[in-house]
Amino acid sequence: MLELEHFLTVGALLFAIGLLIALSKRNAIAVLMGVELMLNSVNITLLAFSRFAESGRPISGQAFVAFVITVAAAEAAVALALAAAVYRNRDTINVDQIRLLRS
């Protein structure tokens, strides 16, 4: 039987993998994928607490996850639009080569 610790372990591992990806990649799209993986790992943790915690309102954790998914989708759309605009102007999406504040 799956317990709370199993879900927390999976969430922590996914968060660590997402953090490693976000900090180690130079491609802006890969960094965004790492951030999305971290947000999804938080969702797993929130759902696990919602399922296993004794609460008068267990649906509140699931509602919070719905808001996190909505914000993550909006963040991905805006970030991909910015990446496309930067690529159009600079011909690269390598975060080390993008210096928008310099001429």
Reading the chain (103 residues) residue by residue, the pLDDT tens digits are 899 999 999 999 999 999 999 999 888 888 889 999 999 999 999 999 888 888 777 788 888 889 989 998 998 899 889 888 888 887 887 877 776 655 5
As for how many domains the chain has, the answer is 1
CATH code for the domain of 26: 1.10.287.3510
Residue 14 near residue 37, CB atoms below 8 Å: yes
Enclosing domain of residue 14: 4-90
* Domain assignment present for 97: no
For the chain, the average pLDDT equals: 87
Alpha-carbon dihedral of residues 78, 101, 39, 58, nearest 10 degrees?
-80
* Domain assignment present for 27: yes
Q: Residues 60-86: pLDDT tens digits? A: 888 888 998 999 899 889 988 988 888
Residues 6+ apart with CB under 8 A from 37: 14, 15, 17, 18, 21
| Global pTM value | 0.80
Burial class of 18 by CB neighbour count within 10 A (0 to 12, 13 to 18, 19+): buried
